[in-house]
Structure 1
C-alpha cells in the first residue's frame, strides 16, 4: 500500500512546480520534500518528476498519477468533511482564512469571546492575502473581499469595508490637495481594486512611497509620509489621522464568507459562522447597511 503522506508531498510538488514551493505550502523543509518524493519513486520503481535546476516537471506517468492522486485527496477530504458534519458536541480544530487587514485589526480582538462560548473548538486563524481552497481543506471557513468562486462552496455576504483618504494631522500639505503625495502599492498589486482606486484618485500627483501591506500604509500616513487610502473602520479611530476629501467616487469592498457545501451542518463550522455573523453585524463600520 502506497503511503498517503508521500502522495500528499507529491501533490504539493506537482501543484507548485518546485521543491521550495511545495516546502512552503506544507510548512516543512526542502529536504523533507525531496526525501518523501524519492521514497515514493523508489516504492513504485518509476520516475514521477523530472528535477530541473529551477523547476520540477511531471513525467507522462507522473501526470497520470497526479490526476489519480487528486481524486484520492478529494475522497479523503470528503470523508473528513462527513465526519466533521456529524460530530457532536462542537469540538475540534477549525481553520479560518481571512485577509490580513481583518485578522490583525478586527478578528483577533474577538477571539476571547469565541473561546469562552466554544471551549471545545480550537480556532486557527490564518492571515492570507492569497486565495485558498476549501475543497483541499486549506481552510474550513474563508473570508474574502471578492466572492469565492469554487463550485463546491457556499458563500454569504457579511458586510463591507469602506475606504477613504487619510493623512497625518501634521502633514504639511494637509489642506493643499494639489501638493499631496500618495502612499501606494507596488506593481505586484496591479489589478487589485484598492490600488486601482487609489491611483485613479492620485492622477498625475506623485507617489511618495510604495508599501505592500495595509498596516504599513497606516503607519506611514501616521508618520506624515503622505496621503493613504485606508479602511474607514481602521483609520477613523486613529487620533493622529484626519480624513481628507477628494473629488473621486467613493470606494468599498464587500466581505464574503464561504465554506464547503459538505460542512453546512457541521456543528463546529456553524459555531464559527454564527460567531462571524454576530461580530460583523454588531460592528457598524463593517456592517453592510444596504441589505
Structure 2
C-alpha cells in the first residue's frame, strides 16, 4: 500500500510543474519532494517521471496516476466541505481570496471589528489577481469582479464599483498634457486596463504596476492620471477629472461552494464582506 502523503506530494509536483515550485508550495526542500516521488514509484511499481538533467518530466503512467490522485483529492476536499458545512459555531479558519486592492483597502481595515466580535474565528485573507478554486479548497470564499460560472458554486452579487479618472490637484494645476498610470503586462487584456487605454487615446503610460494601490499612491504623488474606484480615490488627495466624464462599472461578486454555504464561520465572514462592499 502506498503512502497517501507521497501521492499528495506527487500530485502537487505534477500541478506545479517542477520540484522547486512544488517544494515552495509544500514549504520543504526539493530533495524531499524527489524522495516522496521515488517512494511512490517504489510502492506502485511504476515509473512516474523521467529524470532528466534539468527537470523531472511525467511519464504516461505518471499522467494516469496524476488523474487518479486528483480524483482522490477532490473526494477528500468534498469530505472536508461536508464536515465544515455542519459546523454551527463561529470558530476556526476561513480563507478568503480577493483581488489585492479590495483585500487591502476594502476588507483588511475592518477585520479588527470582526475579530472582536468572534474571538475564536481566524481569517486568512489572500490577495490574488486570479480566482482561487473553491472546489480544491484553495479558498473558502472568493471575491471577484466577474460572476463565477462553476455549477457547484453559490454566487452573490454584492454591488458594483465605478472606476473613474483621478489625479492629484497639483498635477492637474500644472498640466493638461496628461500621462497615465496603469497596469503592467501581467494585466494586459483586463477590463480595467483596456478601458484606461481607451481613455488615454494613445497618450503614454508614465508608470505601470500590477497593484492598484501602488497606482493610487503614485497618482497622489503627481505621477499622472489613474483609474480608480471611488473608495480608493477617497483615501488619497485625488481629484476627479470630470464628474460627468466616462465611467467603468464593475460588479462585485462573492462565491462560496454550495457544500459549506450554511456553515456558521462561512456565513459570518460572507456577511462581513457584504457589509464592507455595500458601505464602500
Cα 1:87–1:236, aligned 2, differ >3 Å: closer, same or farther?
closer
Q: Which secondary structure state, in structure 1, belongs to the residue aligned with residue 259 of structure 2?
A: helix
Q: Does residue 167 of the first structure (1) align with residue 164 of the second (2)?
A: no
Aligned to 1:222: 220
Cα 1:233–1:80, aligned 2, differ >3 Å: closer, same or farther?
same
1:84 deviates by: 0.8
Aligned to 2:254: 257
Aligned to 1:275: 272
Task: Indicate conservation of the 8 Å contact 2:97/2:131, yes or no.
Answer: no
Output aligned runs, 1:39-54, within 5 Å: 39-52=39-52
Structure 1 length normalisation: TM-score? 0.88
Counterpart-to-counterpart distance in 2, 1:86 and 1:124: 21
Task: Indicate conservation of the 8 Å contact 1:173/1:180, yes or no.
Answer: no
Q: Does residue 129 of the first structure (1) align with residue 129 of the second (2)?
A: yes
- Number of aligned pairs? 280
Q: Deviations over 1:150-205 (max 9, x none)?
A: 221111111222111111211166662xx101112222211111000000100121
Task: Indicate conservation of the 8 Å contact 1:17/1:55, yes or no.
Answer: no
Question: Which residue, out of 232, 235, 242, partners 2:233?
Answer: 235
Counterpart-to-counterpart distance in 2, 1:54 and 1:150: 37
Counterpart-to-counterpart distance in 1, 2:222 and 2:132: 36
Q: Which secondary structure state, in structure 2, belongs to the residue aligned with residue 194 of structure 1?
A: helix
Question: Which residue, out of 181, 188, 193, partners 1:195?
Answer: 193
Aligned to 2:203: 205
Q: Which deviates more from structure 2 when the two are superposed, residues 52-61 or residues 70-79? A: 52-61
Q: Which deviates more from structure 2 when the two are superposed, residues 70-79 or residues 51-60? A: 51-60
Q: Deviations over 1:48-86 (max 9, x none)?
A: 122445654321111111111111111111111111111
Task: Indicate conservation of the 8 Å contact 1:82/1:262, yes or no.
Answer: yes
Aligned to 1:144: 144
Task: Indicate conservation of the 8 Å contact 1:174/1:180, yes or no.
Answer: no
Task: Indicate conservation of the 8 Å contact 2:106/2:277, yes or no.
Answer: no
Q: Which secondary structure state, in structure 1, belongs to the residue aligned with residue 181 of structure 2?
A: strand
Structure 1 gap ranges (5+): 286-291
Task: Indicate conservation of the 8 Å contact 2:131/2:142, yes or no.
Answer: no
Q: CA RMSD in A?
A: 2.1
